Amino acid sequence: MQDESNRDGAQRLGRAFSKGHPALVTYLMAGYPTRETSLASLHALADAGSDLIELGVPFADPLADGPVIRNAADKARQANEGGFGLAETIALAADFLKEAGPDAPPVALMTYLNPLMRMGLPKVADALRAAGVGGVIVPDMPPEMAGPWLRAAHDLDTVFLAAPTSTPARLEKVALYSSGFVYCVSSLGVTGERSELPEELTALVSRVRDATVLPVAVGFGISTPEHVAAVARIADGIVVGSALVKRQDDPSEVFSFASELVKARDIS
C-alpha cells in the first residue's frame, strides 16, 4: 500500500529484516532520563548491533504501555525543560541518525494517534522524512482509521499490530495496510516483562505469517536473552522494550544488555 519511489531504501524498516538472520528490534523512550542520556543510549544500541530501533514518544496516556515505559514517559516529559513530546522526539531521532551515519539502523517512532493529530498529519510526515525516520507504529490507530495518515505518510512505513484475539478478517487488514513488517503482540495486556512466553505463541506467529508476506516481529513480554533465542526460532524479528528501558539511565548497561540479546539472536 505504500509508495517507495521517493524514499532512501536505507531508511525503510524492511532493511532490518534483510540481513540473513532474525532482526533484533530494540525500544527506548525518547528523552529519558534526559535528552543527552537517551541519545547516548541510542548510540549504545547501534554499537551493540541492534537491527532496528523503536523510539518511544513520551505521552500522558500510553494505553498499550506497562509501568516501566509509562514511568519513563512521565519522567521524560518532566525532566526536559519545556517538556518532551513528538517534535522533540523527531529532533532526537534526527540527531541520532545524523551522528550515526549511513550504518545506523532504521528508526521507527512508536507513538499514539493523539500526538500525530495535534501536530497535524502532513506536518508530522514531513518532519519524519526530514529526520530520516523510516516509519511509525501507532497502537491505537486501527487500519479502519488509518486512511488520513496513510495518505500523508505514503512513503513512510506504517506498522500495524496483530493480537492473539485478531480474527482472520482483522489479520487480513493488518497485512494489507502494514508496510515494513507486521508487529505480532505475544499476549494480551500492556507492554512489560514476563517470566515466560505464551505456550500458544508459535501458533499465533504461524497465523500471522499465513496472512502476510511481510516479516513478522514479536513483541510484548520479551525480556531475556533466552526469550530472544526462543522467538528468533519462530519469527523474523524480536522486539525488546521494557527490559532495555529499565537500564536506560546508564548507556553502558544498555550496551551490555543489548549485546547479550544480539548473541542470543545469533545462536538461535
- Nearest Cα neighbor of 109 from 237, 36, 20, 13 is 13
Give me the phi and psi of 238, to 5 degrees please.
Answer: -130, 125
Give me the phi and psi of 81, to 5 degrees please.
Answer: -55, 130
Rg (CA), the chain: 17
65 is catalytic: yes
- The residue annotated as part of the active site, out of 3, 47, 54, 99, is 54
88 is catalytic: no
- The residue annotated as part of the active site, out of 65, 88, 155, 236, is 65
> If residue 237 lies in a helix (H) or strand (E), which one and from where to where?
strand 237-240
- Nearest Cα neighbor of 88 from 155, 34, 154 is 34
The half-sphere exposure of 189 on its side-chain side, counting CA atoms within 13 A, is: 11
Looking at residue 106, what DSSP letter applies? P
Q: Which residues are marked as active site?
A: 54, 65
